[in-house]
Structure 1
Amino acid sequence: MPIRDMTELSMISKQAWSSEELQHYHRAFQQIMPYLNIEGHTIHREIIEEIEARGGINKD
């Protein structure tokens, strides 16, 4: 399944994101963390919370 862009994903709940999308955007947000505004930090926190709710990142 291809990773959807943030424009599309911003219109649906984090629960509807695939695990691959959560992991992809988590890594992307980690890299740009110093440059994020409050909204960016909020989105990243929501991504982390959803990853944790699913049991963490699968490293397989």
Structure 2
Amino acid sequence: MEQERDFTELSMMSKTRWNDNELRYFQHALSQLLPYVNPEGLTILHEINKEMQNRD
């Protein structure tokens, strides 16, 4: 079974190396927190969304 990686580990690698579950989880979490997310978090959310679109 694959071990879950936390956001600290994931933030140090390209979104292309994230698995689909990680992308979905953090896309959902950041979207829920959007009113409280700083510009850096918004950039991460855009990168996640772009990677998810590239995989479709």
Which amino acid is 1:44 matched to?
L
Gaps of 5+ in 1: 56-60
TM-score (norm 1): 0.87
- 4+ runs of 1 displaced by more than 2 Å? none
Bigger Cα displacement from structure 2, 2-11 vs 12-21: 2-11
Same amino acid, percent of matched pairs: 45
RMSD: 0.8
TM-score (norm 2): 0.93
Shift of residue 4, structure 1, vs aligned partner = 1.1
After superposition, residues 1-60 of structure 1 pair within 5 angstroms as: 1-55=2-56
How many pairs align? 55
Gaps of 5+ in 2: none
